Structure 1
């Protein structure tokens, strides 16, 4: 039977459908139950709604909600996205202004010094990451030489709990950074006036430098004595990364920190505390909010030059996740086997495919910056192919392909062309430290780290709120 598409036909169809719906068992049972409930609470039968009225009011309510979402709710969503976009643009502008300020400070320092200007920075540098390396880069830009003091295990433990890495592991990480000229081991966590005098005289220090975030221990500014002497300068912290955030990723075991694209409103959120209605895992797990720009890559690539004619190019690839002392040691050994070292960094997808779980802990952009900051690496191949091809060998003029003996993945077809070309070599690392060691240490003290992270997250949120006048991604 043909459906009548005329106005009368459509009206009749809707009426017949509505009548059938109203007379259905489901609606009738619902209305009967509603009448019983209304009667029990003392509502007179004379005002009990009929089935027609119940269906009509229900449909009107649904229609109202749909219209509200379409006309108003979507505009709120668009507004949140716009605020997120504004926040990202503001952060980029802050980076530009900070760079300009550093340049001006650098020029002023050199004019005052009349030549060499020696900068001193200190810290724990536990689980050192590209944020620390960027601080070194900024600090060195204020002078001509950067001397870095590494706090001792004992002083760190006394002030803020035991570090994840040992003295030797943290020293190796700092020594391996290309922005560092000299390292002083065993520095105290709290810089006293006497120790500051000792450092300034012994190492001929012109300025003591630290990030612009507060560094307070037991209510005392760690750098108070340096400020009193006019020997203190601050640098902006690297936004979007901290040791706290990285440990949170390891504990939470999600992939939210992997490289994302576009503006996603959750990316601008600064996690609030559990008392505000969020679970503990939300406190621990914020994905990377680091803003990767061509400028930052360029600054980390300073000094990168193409290999000269006749130089032996060595290639070594990997995930380089949680860039640590083991990585630095084997890259140093690989560099000794040639003249020019290229480090290939695999994508998040490739690393996760072969290592599973929530690996890598650091996303591609973060890992690239960490490797670029290593003094033994001459260049970095970003999003390196998992399988080394003849074309790749020819294009990069690779003389030797190196693989660490401790690498868990099977050689398989990955290195087939390098093996056939006689340029493949497997080497042992001078340091047996690995990412597994970091996991074991974190998990062994999980509760302590969770409590520490919750406290630190609150401090980080307050820092960003004050910096941008934002509250959880919304303007105040």
Structure 2
């Protein structure tokens, strides 16, 4: 939805400003960037500062503003990133600081630190563009799952005193994890009970192939160039993932990213992983500028046949990982190591998913109370669209 005062013909020559916190990045964030990019022109992204976020939402982000900026800059639809911007977008900031012609935002209302619409001035000036908000995904829902897992001590079997993954009864744990896949997050509510149905207590991804196709790269494989392959869960996507993809892509001419399916992640890491499902993770990885192709349901153990089928020349592995979480003792890289195509890359980032989980754990009480309130407000908002 475009304001009637916006000149559609000039959008391709304009600078369009989009801002946000972009914490615990999810496909909804990236879909907003995609839609803004398709308006035409240069896409300038403002990363709201840690302090402004605390003032507006009552809580500091899990990722620092620099980490959030690095992730967003890795998105293939982004031209520029501004770090540490204010929550409220004034006309002076839009035109003179960001030097942009228009501001774009989802079709939901955004309340700023003043308690008013944070885009009020650009709206009144006819410089506001709305795109469709992505429903069924939010930072709050991911945080809710993290908090639930921490409070119910579902990480108890992940590490011992030597920081090695352990499980006294892995088969039993795996069966429990598979059962949780079917029941986790489901609660009876009166209306659903009367219909004999189950009700999902938090929004889930409802992914269409049409949306997926808009995220995928159309780049053809190089005729003589080197094909690089990496794999992983890419759960709780962070700046370390972005740096790793960038470093791996630099090894060749075409980067294929293999993403483990949900059951594989649960098998190798245990419950409560993964926190985001495979399709969600696929969209995030596909939106990165370094990704040329994605393989869904990639095998944990790479075989010679797999290498041959996909024409892989190099298999890249990061120096830092959550390897201490892995239950499976076999070496999944044994074959490619023997083939002489394994390369270790140092992305320069020591960030791992477990570090992100620890950040949540260290502030769990404050985060829980804040997220509970945000989820309640989001639930009310979603119901308005039913």
1:121-172 deviations in Å (ceiling 9; x for gaps): 0111112121100110111112232110111122222322211111211111
The Cα shift of 1:269 comes to: 8.4
1:295-351 deviations in Å (ceiling 9; x for gaps): 1110111x3323120110000000000111010011100111111111100011111
**Residue 105 of structure 2 is aligned to residue 210 of structure 1:** yes
Contact 2:222-2:253 within 8 A present in 1 as well:
no
Relative to 1, partners in 2 of residues 1:343 and 1:411: Cα closer, same or farther, differing over 3 Å?
farther
Query: 1:143 matched to which residue of 2?
Result: 40
Query: 1:59 matched to which residue of 2?
Result: none
The structure with the greater share of residues assigned to helix is 1
**Residue 147 of structure 2 is aligned to residue 251 of structure 1:** yes
* Correspondences of 1:388-403 after superposition (within 5 Å): 388-403=302-317
- 2:360 match: secondary structure: helix
Relative to 1, partners in 2 of residues 1:421 and 1:259: Cα closer, same or farther, differing over 3 Å?
same
**Residue 252 of structure 2 is aligned to residue 314 of structure 1:** no
Match of 1:427 among 341, 345, 353: 345
The Cα shift of 1:406 comes to: 2.1
Query: Under a length normalisation based on structure 2, what TM-score does the superposition of the two structures give?
Result: 0.82
Query: 1:347 matched to which residue of 2?
Result: 261
Measured in 2, the distance between the counterparts of 1:370 and 1:258 equals 24
Contact 1:403-1:426 within 8 A present in 2 as well:
yes
**Residue 202 of structure 2 is aligned to residue 300 of structure 1:** no
Measured in 2, the distance between the counterparts of 1:257 and 1:131 equals 28
Query: 1:184 matched to which residue of 2?
Result: 82
Match of 2:14 among 117, 125, 135: 117
**Residue 366 of structure 2 is aligned to residue 448 of structure 1:** yes
Match of 2:122 among 211, 226, 242: 226
The Cα shift of 1:186 comes to: 1.9
After TM superposition, the structure 1 stretch with the greater mean CA deviation from structure 2, 430-439 or 412-421, is 412-421
Measured in 2, the distance between the counterparts of 1:374 and 1:270 equals 39
Aligned structure 1 segments of 4 or more residues deviating by more than 6 angstroms: 254-260, 266-272
Contact 1:319-1:351 within 8 A present in 2 as well:
yes
The Cα shift of 1:416 comes to: 2.0
**Residue 80 of structure 2 is aligned to residue 173 of structure 1:** no
**Residue 206 of structure 2 is aligned to residue 291 of structure 1:** yes
Relative to 1, partners in 2 of residues 1:391 and 1:267: Cα closer, same or farther, differing over 3 Å?
same
Relative to 1, partners in 2 of residues 1:437 and 1:422: Cα closer, same or farther, differing over 3 Å?
same
RMSD value, Cα: 2.8
The Cα shift of 1:271 comes to: 12
Q: Show structure 1 runs of 5+ residues with no match.
A: 1-100, 273-284, 469-476
Q: Show structure 2 runs of 5+ residues with no match.
A: 155-176, 192-199
Looking at both structures, which has the greater relative contact order when contacts are Cα pairs under 8 Å and sequence separation is at least 6?
2
Measured in 2, the distance between the counterparts of 1:257 and 1:341 equals 35
Relative to 1, partners in 2 of residues 1:441 and 1:257: Cα closer, same or farther, differing over 3 Å?
farther
Measured in 2, the distance between the counterparts of 1:287 and 1:166 equals 26
Measured in 2, the distance between the counterparts of 1:258 and 1:365 equals 18
Measured in 2, the distance between the counterparts of 1:167 and 1:440 equals 18
How many residues of Structure 1 are paired with residues of Structure 2 in the alignment?
A: 345
1:365-404 deviations in Å (ceiling 9; x for gaps): 1111111111111111111011111111111110100111
Contact 2:32-2:134 within 8 A present in 1 as well:
yes
The Cα shift of 1:178 comes to: 1.1
**Residue 94 of structure 2 is aligned to residue 196 of structure 1:** yes
The Cα shift of 1:120 comes to: 0.8
Query: 1:464 matched to which residue of 2?
Result: 382
**Residue 50 of structure 2 is aligned to residue 153 of structure 1:** yes
The Cα shift of 1:288 comes to: 5.0
